Chain A
Amino acid sequence: MREVHAREGISGLRAMVLEASRALALLDAPRLQELALSCEALNRQLGQADAGLRRDLAGQAREAVDDMEVFRRVLEATRANLNVMRRLRAMRWGELEYKVPGAGAMAAAEQAENGDGNN
């Protein structure tokens, strides 16, 4: 695998944030899960970083601030979309329950019991 640092002047941390926004826009769940694992690993290793790396990461973090805001907005939009889809799904399941197979037969049976049948 290649070092992210080598890409067109984009720092590794910033590349991670950009990748997270891109993956979320495309609903690439496996990629996001992979990113989560990378972030966990990075977070664990951060405590053992030497002085040079600390400075480097601080610079990378500053570079990534604007992209982090984009990621936050995409996440917010996703939450709103998810709410819409959940409501939609609830409505659709409601319709399915209303039209459950055999519902017509049950209604007919009720009619029969009320004396509208052959008896």
Chain B
Amino acid sequence: MGTINSAMSLIGGALDANQEALNVVANNVANANTPGYAEEKPDWRENTPITVGGVQNGDGVTETGTTSQRDRVLEERLDQQQQLASASSTRLTALNNIQALFTPDSGSSSATAGDIGSDITSFFDSFSSLEADPTDNALREQVLTSASTLAGDISSAANSLNTQSAALNQDAAGIATQVNSLTSAIAQLNLQIQSTSPHADAGALEDQRQQDMSQLSQLVGINQVTTENNGLSITTTSGQLLVSEGQSFQLTTGTVNGATDFFVGGTDITSELASGGGQLGGYLTARTQDIPNALNSLDQLAYNISTAVNAKNNAGVDLNGATGTATNPLYIFSEPTQVAGSAATMKVTMTDPSQIAAASAGNETGDNSNAVAMAALANQPIVNGQTPINSYSNFVSTLGSTVLEVQTENTAQNASVTQLQTQNNALSSVNLNDEAAAMSTLETSYQAASQVFTLLNTIMASALNLGEQTTVS
């Protein structure tokens, strides 16, 4: 193993020196310089040449003012990447909170939402236990206890998701206030900049405007259009006007179907903002996509378990020899009328364990065939074509994949922001030679990284093949 490790140990030094998360690096680089500052350089105008003896001689240059060394193209790219990084970062936080609800707490003895998987197993197992002695009251009590634990954990998870959704609504509404403050400031700066240009450079004002733009990019997805005399118009990524030179258009909020929606001039732009980027995009994606997806999975689970178990129990014979009727159904769970909201309201309504219908219709009370049928529901595709436990496992697994995907996206976006900030700093504060050097570093880094990627890919593919061969032999 020594030879391979010695190859790997070549990189050990840098790993020891710095192994911080990429987003921490991004933040450090971001804070390394004064925000928004771009170095000013003098502008020079060539004087009219003097002709002496038929030969033109230059007559030097005259300083005409100063221009900030900023580049719109690069700044726009940086703003755009910041919007994406900010959106994925906000969404990731929300997703981690959602995932925490479904992570089993191994150290706790009390039931939690994270134990829903084992709750499902325990509930159906309690019917298997009842099969052995269908008249045993303790075993009947156990069925109701495990049903209560399952219903309690599912409704607790659904209620926590609703609470998270309400918190996201509040956070998102707070963003609107910040957006309005920034767009108003940018509109004012536009007026001042336009009254200055083209006769002079409005360096300090442009720095301030760029700083505001950068902040705005972290809050909401935007596009910017440069207008006459160095003015700037800003739209949402879907084209809704937020700033038109000296005028700003306020983002307002209103409640639609219990959720906070966002409007500009009476137009509801919530869905556009959700896909647009920035913190607001992240909040809205979590609120309109991630939480509803999780709630829908829980609702499906609660609805299908409740209705399937209720239907079986209602069709059987309880310990008193009774069967369910329209007016007095033998339901274990509250019977849901629709899928939506089933999880939050899931609960056990049966209080008398003797009402558990272990016997099938037409049989004596000592019969266990209906208990067998109810235990068998665990292995039947009663939740959208899947068994209850598989449905829940798939939901948790899909959620985990989404978290991983957004995490990957966020790390790459932060890395991209770091690179662009490095390039922007080079452009803002150095001469053309240094700028060329910065460009060369970017190109060399890309080429070397491509080579590393190709090699790592080959190594990993070979390693996996070698590993499999070893296993087979």
Contact A78 B445, CB 8 Å, known A25-B26, A26-B418, A73-B409: yes
Chain A CB within 8 A of B73 CB: yes
Q: Is the CB of A70 within 8 A of B411?
A: yes
Give the contacts of B314-362 with A (CB-CB under 8 A): none
Contact A89 B439, CB 8 Å, known A1-B12, A46-B466, A58-B464: yes
A54 (CB) vs chain B CBs: closest residue: B466
List of B residues within 8 angstroms of A18 by Cβ: 19
Contact A78 B464, CB 8 Å, known A13-B8, A73-B412: no
Contact A7 B408, CB 8 Å, known A54-B463, A60-B463: no
Q: How many cross-chain pairs have Cβ atoms below 8 Å apart between A and B?
A: 249
Chain A CB within 8 A of B171 CB: no
Q: Annotate B1-45 by CB proximity to A: 1 below 8 A, 0 otherwise.
A: 101110111111111101110100110000000000000000000
Of the listed residues B10, B58, B444, B452, the one surrounded by the most CB atoms of chain A closer than 10 A to its CB is B452
A29 → B minimal CB distance (Å): 4
Q: Is the CB of B419 within 8 A of A64?
A: no
Contact of B408 among A5, A69, A85 (CB under 8 A): A69
Q: Is the CB of B15 within 8 A of A15?
A: yes
Q: How far is the CA of A29 from the CA of B439 in the complex (A)?
A: 12
Chain A CB within 8 A of B414 CB: yes
A40 → B minimal CB distance (Å): 6
Contact A57 B4, CB 8 Å, known A75-B450, A78-B419: yes
Stretch at the interface among B240-248, B391-399, B454-462: B454-462
Q: Is the CB of B414 within 8 A of A1?
A: no
A44 (CB) vs chain B CBs: closest residue: B7
Of the listed residues B5, B413, B441, B468, the one surrounded by the most CB atoms of chain A closer than 10 A to its CB is B5
Q: How far is the CA of A56 from the CA of B51 in the complex (A)?
A: 80
Q: Is the CB of B445 within 8 A of A28?
A: yes
Q: Is the CB of B74 within 8 A of A85?
A: yes
List of A residues within 8 angstroms of B7 by Cβ: 38, 41-42, 45
| Interface range, B side | 35 or more
Q: Is the CB of B412 within 8 A of A68?
A: no
Give the contacts of B421-461 with A (CB-CB under 8 A): 422-423, 439, 441-446, 448-453, 455-460
Q: Is the CB of A40 within 8 A of B12?
A: no
Contact of B15 among A19, A61, A66 (CB under 8 A): A19
Q: Is the CB of A75 within 8 A of B467?
A: no
Q: Is the CB of A12 within 8 A of B5?
A: yes
List of B residues within 8 angstroms of A19 by Cβ: 11, 14-15, 19
| Interface range, A side | 35 or more
Q: Is the CB of B56 within 8 A of A39?
A: no
Contact A66 B456, CB 8 Å, known A22-B22, A61-B464, A108-B56: no
Chain A CB within 8 A of B420 CB: yes
Q: Annotate B182-225 by CB proximity to A: 1 below 8 A, 0 otherwise.
A: 00000000000000000000000000000000000000000000
Q: Is the CB of A20 within 8 A of B453?
A: yes
Chain B CB within 8 A of A9 CB: no
Q: Is the CB of B10 within 8 A of A38?
A: yes
Chain A CB within 8 A of B404 CB: yes
Q: How far is the CA of A65 from the CA of B73 in the complex (A)?
A: 35
Contact of A46 among B452, B463, B468, B473 (CB under 8 A): B463
A104 → B minimal CB distance (Å): 4
Q: Is the CB of B452 within 8 A of A80?
A: no
Q: Is the CB of B456 within 8 A of A26?
A: no
Q: Is the CB of A24 within 8 A of B449?
A: yes
Q: How far is the CA of A58 from the CA of B422 in the complex (A)?
A: 37
Q: Is the CB of A2 within 8 A of B412?
A: no
Q: How far is the CA of A81 from the CA of B58 in the complex (A)?
A: 40
Contact of A74 among B10, B415, B455 (CB under 8 A): B415
B251 → A minimal CB distance (Å): 29
Q: Is the CB of A108 within 8 A of B452?
A: no
List of A residues within 8 angstroms of B74 by Cβ: 84-85, 88
Q: Is the CB of A102 within 8 A of B58?
A: yes
List of A residues within 8 angstroms of B58 by Cβ: 102, 105
Chain A CB within 8 A of B46 CB: yes
Q: Is the CB of A25 within 8 A of B4?
A: no
Q: Is the CB of B49 within 8 A of A87?
A: no
Contact A1 B9, CB 8 Å, known A19-B14, A58-B468, A108-B49: yes
Q: Is the CB of B467 within 8 A of A58?
A: yes
List 13 additional contacts besides A46-B466, A85-B423; criterion CB under 8 Å: A3-B12, A12-B5, A22-B20, A23-B449, A24-B419, A25-B415, A32-B448, A33-B444, A36-B451, A42-B8, A55-B467, A108-B56, A112-B51
| Contacts from A to B (Cβ < 8 Å) | 1-5, 7, 12-13, 15-29, 31-43, 45-46, 48-49, 51-62, 64-66, 68-82, 84-85, 87-89, 91-92, 101-105, 108-109, 112, 117-118
Q: Could you list 11 examples of A-B contacts with CB < 8 Å? A: A22-B22, A24-B415, A29-B448, A38-B10, A42-B4, A49-B4, A53-B1, A56-B1, A72-B453, A73-B412, A81-B442
Interchain residue pairs A-B with the least CB separation, the first 7: A58-B467, A73-B412, A25-B415, A77-B416, A32-B448, A39-B455, A12-B8
